[in-house]
Structure 1
Amino acid sequence: MPAADSDRRIDLHTHSSVSDGTQRPSALMASAAIAGLDVVALTDHDTTGGWAEAAAAVPRTGVALVRGTEISCKAEGLSVHLLSYLHDPAHPALAQELERSRASRLIRAEEMVNRIAEDYPITWEDVRAQTADGATIGRPHIADALVVAGVVEDRAEAFASVLTPRTAYYVRYYAPEATEVIEAVLEAGGVPVIAHPRAGVRGRVVSDAAIAEMAEAGLMGLEVHHRDHTAAERAQLTALATALGLACTGSSDYHGAGKPNRLGENLTEPAVFEQIEAAGRLKVVRP
């Protein structure tokens, strides 16, 4: 029996092997069903490549799909990840930004591997072997190659050591201004939400003033409930969202076996999901 509207379990941030997750989109949908989710968003980095496969799995799994993307951008010179939900993937301005980001990620990954290979036993082919067909190679795939080479125990150790931005191996990649991306998302009929805005474990985070500027540009919400936020940070973000008239979302940021994040560990309230659904151009794919 379907869950009552008020009891729906909604996870709005996950990744498949089309970006840096470890499961195919169809397998992710099956895992979402096992986890007891009613709605899941597939938000691979800078790509919509997994949407069709995930949508095809909806009837079999019984889990509704929100088609989305996690877009790399910046504010105050710092990295910002913007979740875009239910946008038109063919919209020219947004599609162009996503393609430019993917191309930059590939060039950046090659340069990082070249630098790392001077000190550790990995090659570009080793990294490609850890990458699913069609996926853009990124730091998680380099991390997997380092694990296979015996340099580190797991992805977490790789990101804390060899792949941290504090090393000479790190290479920056192209990222447009967040306000510009928000405008493009809105033009494409999407719903923009900042992912893990207070995740200090990942590096420096943008100020409240920068978030306020994004809100003026049309930002819809903040991903408040995320494992990288402390209780105090969640409270601060909730207060900020209230002051700026933004919605609060929650999600797992699931990557399969690549990270400890578990599907459904943080959830979005059904009323907030309904706001997102009403604002987006695309329809939610339902069983």
Structure 2
Amino acid sequence: MPIPATIPLNADLHCHSVVSDGTLSPEDLAARARANGVQLWALTDHDETGGLRRAGAAAQAQGMAYLTGVEISVTFADTTVHIVGLGFDPDNAQLAQGLAATRDGRGERAKEMGAQLARAGIGGAYEGALQFVGNPALISRMHFARFLVESGRCQDTGEVFRKYLTEGRPGYVPHRWARLGDAVRWITEAEGVAVIAHPARYKFSANEEFALFSEFKAHGGQAVEVVTGSHSAAEYLSYAALAQEFGLAASRGSDFHSPAESHTDLGSLPPLPDALTPVWTLLADRIRHPARHLVPHWAPDRA
């Protein structure tokens, strides 16, 4: 049944599990989301869909509506930008191949990060980061950050990033991710909706941001995260205006990673601003309601 756009919905369509760089299992995330009043949920691990079947089953068990999700890393204007995909067919071969290609290179990048940190006097960082990895193919800066906190080098992961893991710091190693157009195409050809994740995080100039939104829309992107854990209240309004300017639907997600690290919990965000088109209204036939378990709504119509 379609969800009316006029009814406020506690949707959390951006979070991460141990399958990428979160600290909770898909099952524990689903339980936490449900306890916090989430009605519509998506797990969006980085460049990986390996947790989606578990997430779908957990959402069913918790009585929550559910959308498939993923967060794809792309390079745009020499900056890493994230594109969330929602409501896609997780068995789509082209999407799976694209995600696998995007994951390639993370291991070598991580080894180089470890070597650079060793030259800065921090030995064993690569091996230490591996202790925090649930999926070795997705080792990331966050795993290094957790090791440096655990080993007493820094007080929290924010301090690690400021001192060691951002551009110009000793442990930063750039990586070329997918192209924007490819990521949007993988999602849309798998019958999903592509969403620009937390746009305020990228610190683009006005011209660069306009170029991002323009190219994203030209490639078939349909939505932008307006209310997210990375945005201030003023930025909610700013990106609501951009959503309307570009004719994009609006998404909402905490970007939750860990109870100990995330400032915004699952389900705790305010509603989307008025006059926007919620992204879930574009995905009404893809939402998996509890009674439907893991059978996509669109499967019978496309047999």
Identify whether the pair has TM-score above 0.5, normalized to the shorter chain: yes
Aligned to 1:259: 262
Match of 1:221 among 220, 223, 236: 223
What SS does the aligned partner of 1:57 have?
helix
Amino acid at match of 1:85: L
- What displacement does 1:86 show? 1.7
Distance in 1 (CA, whole Å) between partners of 2:264 and 2:114 is 26
Aligned residues: 281
Aligned: 1:175 with 2:181: no
Aligned to 1:90: 91
- What displacement does 1:62 show? 1.6
Question: Mapping of 1:74-85 within 5 angstroms?
Answer: 74-85=75-86
Distance in 1 (CA, whole Å) between partners of 2:90 and 2:60 is 22
Distance in 1 (CA, whole Å) between partners of 2:218 and 2:111 is 37
Question: CA offsets per residue over residues 150-171 of structure 1, 9 Å max, x none?
Answer: 1111211111211112214211
Amino acid at match of 2:290: R
Question: CA offsets per residue over residues 177-218 of structure 1, 9 Å max, x none?
Answer: 212221221111111000011124xx5464213211211211
**Residues 20/267 of structure 1: CA separation in 2 closer, same or farther (3 Å cut):** farther
Distance in 2 (CA, whole Å) between partners of 1:37 and 1:170 is 36
Distance in 1 (CA, whole Å) between partners of 2:4 and 2:246 is 30
Question: Mapping of 1:1-287 within 5 angstroms?
Answer: 6-118=7-119, 119-133=121-135, 136-200=138-202, 203-204=203-204, 206-257=208-259, 258-266=261-269, 272-278=278-284, 282-287=286-291
Q: TM-score, normalised by structure 1?
A: 0.89
- What displacement does 1:71 show? 0.2
- What displacement does 1:4 show? 9.7
Distance in 1 (CA, whole Å) between partners of 2:136 and 2:153 is 26
Amino acid at match of 2:115: N
Q: Which moved more, 1:177-186 or 1:264-273?
A: 264-273
Pairwise CA RMSD:
2.4
Amino acid at match of 1:260: H
Contact 1:225–1:249 under 8 Å retained in 2: yes
> Which sections of structure 2, spanning at least 5 residues, go unmatched?
292-303
Q: Which moved more, 1:182-191 or 1:223-232?
A: 223-232
Contact 1:44–1:68 under 8 Å retained in 2: yes
Aligned to 2:300: none
Aligned to 2:295: none
Question: CA offsets per residue over residues 18-76 of structure 1, 9 Å max, x none?
Answer: 11111000000010111111111100000001111112212321222211000001222
Contact 2:65–2:287 under 8 Å retained in 1: no
Contact 2:15–2:42 under 8 Å retained in 1: yes
Distance in 1 (CA, whole Å) between partners of 2:187 and 2:4 is 31
Q: Which moved more, 1:40-49 or 1:100-109?
A: 100-109
> What percentage of residue pairs aligned between the two structures are identical?
33
